[in-house]
Amino acid sequence: MINISGESIDTLKASVRGRVISPADTDYDEARKVWNATIDRRPALVVRCAGNADVTAALAFARANGLLVSIRGGSHNIAGSAVSDDALMIDLSAMKSVRVDPRSKRAYVEPGALLSDFDHEAQAFGLATPLGINSTTGVAGLTLGGGFGWLSRKFGVTVDNLVAAELVTADGQWHRVDAANEPDLFWALRGGGGNFGVVTQFEYQLHEVGPQVHGGLVVYPLEQADDVLPKYREFVAQSPDDLTVWAVLRLAPPLPFLPESAHGKPVIVLACCYIGPPENGERALAPLRSFGTPYGEHLGAMPFAAWQKAFDPLLTPGERNYWKSHNFSEINDATFEILKSAVKSLPSPQCEVFIGAMGGQTNRVPVDATAYANRESEYTINIHGRWSAAADDETCTKWARDLFAAMTPHALGSVYVNFMTGEEGDRVKAAYGPNYERLAEVKRRYDPENLFRSNQNIAPAA
């Protein structure tokens, strides 16, 4: 238990515009809560920042009192790195400004913004940048880990579209970094997680997308997997960059376009988004109906911002989550067999497996261009263990681990850092591959004492 004098806490309160929340406050439990309900940690203090000055004050307080620092943006991180026991949580959730300049096609975004906040502002001008697939995800954490989503095959990963950032480093100094100013630190931010400082503003390149796109779902019975999955693999390999199709293997939710008899049955859901010329949308998606005999489909024109929210009901906060993830250069038939078997024995109706098709522009960027190194990955498969009751922790975690182990011989060995759980610190070097040593050197220069270590940690070079 950390003991901090009441006098020093009062001094901190007087030095910030935001709020300082302690365990004695009635909203402390709400302030420490994160998206993943398996995370139950008790920080010493929460500083809910209102701006750069509050961040600087919080860091100075942490250094003076020997406190570990954790950083909260959207709190969606699977490992729960936003909160640590006996730490000072720098809570950025109140800093949610998103400003769009449609002439320069730039977005200036604070670290508490969610994807829905970003889309609301950018889509008012028919603009977007590659982000995730769940509108409640925090922009900051997603970006700092690399970031990808429906637009990545066309425009690259999120950090390929990050043109500048403002941050406060461990020594309390403010920096604005870009390709010309402190380029090593800018390089490290583009995929290196929260290891290098507290980012207080992101600047993104925007692209003309929407506001209408073509997309939706086609749902097949798992019994047709021997036809559907190989055809999906072939289709993705030949798809234009304007089209992204992910496959989700799970039990069918009670979607209104599915017959009631299909609800709860094992299915393959093909989720697609086409951002090319609207007149080509129906033709681009039509082949997805021909892989077998679907239970049902829901395809057509829709607002891009609405499509970004399509998976929100399956990823609500407050459920228990445990993920494992692999990158693949290809998905062979043996991997399909493993996936089919796993989906036939799901330990919870919320458990599922995402097959995220990458490729396109994500693979055309050199490995050393950004800290995000997974440029050889054609697919990211995320094993998503999700359930409600703590009594099911062991069963659901074991299912995810067993499936991960079974797929390991067929995978690349690398991993997307945002999909790593808290116990996977030994995979950090695999996440960054040939970029790790350079990251460790940048860490040594900007955070030699490893103040920012409540994350998938990159240790400072010796």
Q: What is the pLDDT of residue 159?
A: 98
What number of H helices and E strands is found in the chain?
14, 18
Q: Give the rounded distance of the alpha carbon of 407 from its chain centre.
A: 22
> What is the Cα–Cα distance from 396 to 37, expressed in whole angstroms?
14
Lookup result for tokens 């997309």: 215
What rounded mean pLDDT belongs to the chain?
Answer: 97
> In this model, does residue 3 exceed pLDDT 90?
no
> What is the Cα–Cα distance from 367 to 372, expressed in whole angstroms?
8
E strand segments, 265-310: 266-274, 296-303
Give the domains, in start order, of the chain with CATH numbers. 6-91 (3.30.43.10), 98-209 (3.30.465.10), 212-419 (3.40.462.20)
> What is the Cα–Cα distance from 379 to 12, expressed in whole angstroms?
47
> In this model, does residue 2 exceed pLDDT 80?
no
Residues ≥6 apart with Cβ < 8 Å to 309: 116, 135
Q: What is the pLDDT of residue 1?
A: 61
Lookup result for tokens 């749902």: 219
The mean pLDDT of 85-96, rounded to a whole number, is: 98
What is the tens place of the pLDDT at every residue in 175-212?
Answer: 999 999 999 999 999 999 999 999 999 999 999 999 99
What is the tens place of the pLDDT at every residue in 357-405?
Answer: 999 999 999 999 999 999 999 999 999 999 999 999 999 999 999 999 9
**Closest residue by Cα to residue 150 from 242, 248, 238:** 242
Strand pairing partners for 174? Answer: 168
> What is the Cα–Cα distance from 127 to 113, expressed in whole angstroms?
17
